[in-house]
Structure formats: C-alpha cells, structure tokens
Amino acid sequence: MKYIDLADKNVAELKVMLKEKKTELFTLKIKQKMMQLNNTSELRVAKKNIAKINTAINAVAN
C-alpha cells in the first residue's frame, strides 16, 4: 500500500480501511501468540499500513 493510493480517498473510506487493518493486526498478534504465524514481517507491514492510513486521515481532516 502506498500513500498516493490513499490520498484521493475520503475520510469515511479511510476509516473503514483503518478498521479492517486494525482487525488484521489483531488477528496477526493472536496468531503470533499461538505460534501459528510463519511470517512475522506481516506484523510490521500491518503497523506501517495503519500509520499510513492515519497520516492520510490527518491530511484530509486538516
């Protein structure tokens, strides 16, 4: 996911995406605790995606 893809979306779409990514991060953390997560770099990618969406929300809001 690139920031450019997020820049043209409105706040409602971004909030829906944010909720989906937070749910994804939660499930990844659960999988890690249960020793079922093979690729731990997915956690880092999910966190970065959440940060990009939050940045886009703040840019649109201001």
Predicted pLDDT at 3: 83
Range of the domain at 28: 3-61
Number of domains present in the structure of the chain: 1
Question: Which CATH number fits the domain that encloses residue 8?
Answer: 1.10.287
- CA separation for the pair 58, 52 (Å, rounded): 10
Residue 19 tokens, joined: 């909720």
Predicted pLDDT at 35: 93
Q: What is the pTM of this model?
A: 0.90
Runs of H (alpha helix) within the chain: 3-7, 11-33, 41-61
Quick check: 2 and 49 in contact, CB under 8 A? no
Quick check: 54 and 4 in contact, CB under 8 A? no
* pLDDT tens figures, 1-58: 888 888 889 999 999 999 999 999 999 999 999 999 999 999 999 999 999 999 999 9
* pLDDT tens figures, 48-60: 999 999 999 999 8
